[in-house]
Chain A
Amino acid sequence: MNTGDDMQSTIDTISTIFGVSEVRKRNDLLYFVTAPKKMLPSLLLHLRDRERFTHLVFFTAVDYIENGQFQLTYMLHNYSTGINLAVLVFIDRDNAEMESIHTLWKQARVFQQELREMFGITFPGSPRIEEDFALEGWQNMPPMRRDFNTREYAEATFFPRPGRTSENPREYMKKKLYPDEAHNV
C-alpha cells in the first residue's frame, strides 16, 4: 500500500472541500494542516468517517499572544496507515470560543474541560465544561495564558523559602579553589 499517495489524495480532497491550507509534511507519518475555524467540525467528521483518522490522539492549545490568537491542535491518527495528522485552527484570543467536538469523540469533553480551565477557551454545549478539572477553586486568570505571571503569583501565594541564591559557577570555583589569585583576575 502506498501511504504517501493515499495521503496526497486525502490532502487534495480536504483542501478542495474544506479550504485547508499550509500543508506541512514533517516526515512520512506526520502532517500538519491549517483549517478555517468554521469548517473544523465537518472537516474532522470527514477525516474520521471517510479518511479513517479514527483516533483523536490529543487536543490542546498554544497561546500566541503576539498575534492575539490561540492555536488549537487536533492530532488525529490513522491506524491503517499509521499516519498522524495535526489539524491546526487559529481562534481569537480575546473572545476565545470554539465549537465543541464531544459529539465526534466522547473523550474530547475532557480535553475541552481542561482547555476551559487552563486557557479560558469556552466550548458551548460541552458537558460538564464548568466543572473544576485540576485546579480547585481557582480565582485568577487561567494559568496557562502567557500573560499570567506564574512566578509572581507563586511568590505571593506559597511562602517562598528565603536563601535561594545562584552563583556563577566559574567565579565561584575560582574563588573556592584559588582564593589567592581571585583578586588578580
Chain B
Amino acid sequence: MTNDEAVPAAFTDEELFCQERPQVREPLKGFFEKFLNWARANSLWFLGFGTGCGAVELRPLLTARYDVFRYGIQPRPTPRQSSVFIIGGYASVKTIKRIVRSYEQMQNPKFVIGLGSCTINGGMYWDSYNTINRLDHYIPVDVYIAGCMPRPEAIIAGFMKLKQLIKEGRGENANKYARDFDWYKANQKKIIKDWNMPDYNW
C-alpha cells in the first residue's frame, strides 16, 4: 500500500512497556527508614480489585460500622496509587495473570495480604483444575488471614499485623520479588500458558 505513512503505526511492546527487571531498593539507615516506615504504616492504601469471593468482606470495612479510614486505610482505583494488594480468596489462573500484572504495576514499597484459606493452601478448591493452591509461589505475601471467609474484624487485625511488620522494617517483600524474580516468573509461566505480556510491566 502507498498510504502507509498516513496511518500511525501500532505501538510495539518496547514502546509501551519498560523492559527492565525490577530493581532492589536497599532500605535507608536508622532514623530515616524508621520515619518512612511510620509514614507507610499509617497510609495503607489498598487496591480496589476484588479477586475472589473474599472481596465482599472489603465493602463493610468502608462503612460506618468498621470505618477503616480511621487507621489511614482506604481503597484506591488504580495499582499505581496503591501500596497494599488484598487477594480476596481463590485465584484462578485467569485471575492470577491479572494479579501479577497489577502487582507489578504497584509502586514500591508494596505489600500483599492473602485473605482466606484459598490463598494459603487452595481451601476448598485445592484439587481444582483452574485454581492455584499457594499464592506465595506467584507473588510474595506479607500477611495471611485464615478463614472462609474472615470477618471484617479479622481483616482489620491483619492490617494491624501488617502495620507492625512495616514498623519493624520487615515489609521488604517488593525487594524479595526483585531478588527472586526468576523463581517467581518460572512459577507464573508454569501455569499462565498464553503469556502475551512483557515479563515485567509497570
Contacting pair B97 A136 (CB below 8 A): yes
Q: Is the CB of A148 closer than 8 A to any CB of chain B?
A: yes
- Of A136, A148, A161, A164, which one neighbours B93 at CB under 8 angstroms? A136
Which DSSP category, helix, strand, loop or mixed, fits chain B's interface?
A: loop
How far, in angstroms, from A150 to B191 measured CA to CA in the complex? 15
Contacting pair B129 A148 (CB below 8 A): yes
Interface members, chain B 95-121 (any A CB < 8 Å): 97, 120-121
For B178, the chain A residues whose CB sits under 8 A away are none
Q: Is the CB of B3 closer than 8 A to any CB of chain A?
A: no
Q: Is the CB of B14 closer than 8 A to any CB of chain A?
A: no
Chain B residue nearest to A154 in the complex (CB):
B127
For B192, the chain A residues whose CB sits under 8 A away are 136-137
Q: Is the CB of B193 closer than 8 A to any CB of chain A?
A: yes
B195 CB to nearest A CB, Å: 8
- Of A132, A139, A148, A161, which one neighbours B122 at CB under 8 angstroms? A161
Digitize A148-183: 1 where CB-to-B-CB distance is under 8 Å, 0 elsewhere. 101101110111110010000000000000000000
**Residues in chain B within 8 A of chain A (CB atoms):** 92-94, 97, 120-122, 126-134, 137, 187, 190-195
**Interface pairs (25), CB distance under 8 Å:** A135-B93, A135-B130, A136-B97, A137-B194, A138-B193, A143-B130, A150-B129, A151-B127, A153-B129, A154-B122, A154-B128, A154-B131, A154-B133, A158-B132, A158-B134, A158-B191, A159-B132, A159-B133, A159-B187, A160-B122, A160-B133, A160-B134, A161-B133, A161-B134, A164-B121
